[in-house]
Amino acid sequence: MQKCILFDSSPDNKRHIYIDEINSGEIFDYIRQDPRHIKKFRFICDLLLIGHSNYQIYSKEEIDHRTKGVTAMKFFPGQENDRIYCKEYETPDNTQIVIASELLMRKKQKELTHREISIIEKAGSYAYEIPEF
């Protein structure tokens, strides 16, 4: 089981965003590289925490049964087009948990390449030990 770090929670504690502990350094370095990336990450997280989603910046990436619950935070589509692939869970009491798991730099085409499929499958294979909140 992989560990994760709590990043933020909704005021009603029904939605939580975590970062994969092993990949947290790479993910945080990416987010903190400049104010533009920080602002975009905060915007995506804020939407998720209030229960809204926008498929242009956050969408499911389930390509088969092994990738159930995999989603992508999309950074600057049409430009750098980076992704943070996430694992999404819902607890029995309907609490939504999103764990930022894997970083993909510069997605170049609409169709998924072997490299991208591999990263999505890797994110889908993770089982997380989620701390009590």
Tell me the torsion sign for CA atoms 49, 54, 57, 59. positive
Nearest to 51 by CA among 20, 75, 4, 16: 16
Three-class SS state of 53: coil
Give the pLDDT confidence score for residue 19 in this predicted structure: 97
Mean of pLDDT values over 100-119: 85
Three-class SS state of 116: helix
Q: Tell me: pLDDT of 133 over 60.
A: no
Give the pLDDT confidence score for residue 86 in this predicted structure: 97
Give the pLDDT confidence score for residue 7 in this predicted structure: 96
Taking the C-alpha atoms of residue 77 and residue 44, their distance in angstroms, rounded to an integer, is 13
Taking the C-alpha atoms of residue 92 and residue 88, their distance in angstroms, rounded to an integer, is 14
Three-class SS state of 8: strand
Give the pLDDT confidence score for residue 106 in this predicted structure: 82
Token pair for 131 = 């701390």
The number of beta carbons lying within 10 Å of the beta carbon of residue 17 is 23
> Residues 83-106: pLDDT tens digits?
999 999 998 889 999 999 999 988
Three-class SS state of 16: strand
> Residues 35-84: pLDDT tens digits?
999 999 999 999 999 988 788 889 998 888 889 999 999 998 778 889 99
Which band of pLDDT confidence, cut at 50, 70 and 90, is reported for residue 24? very high
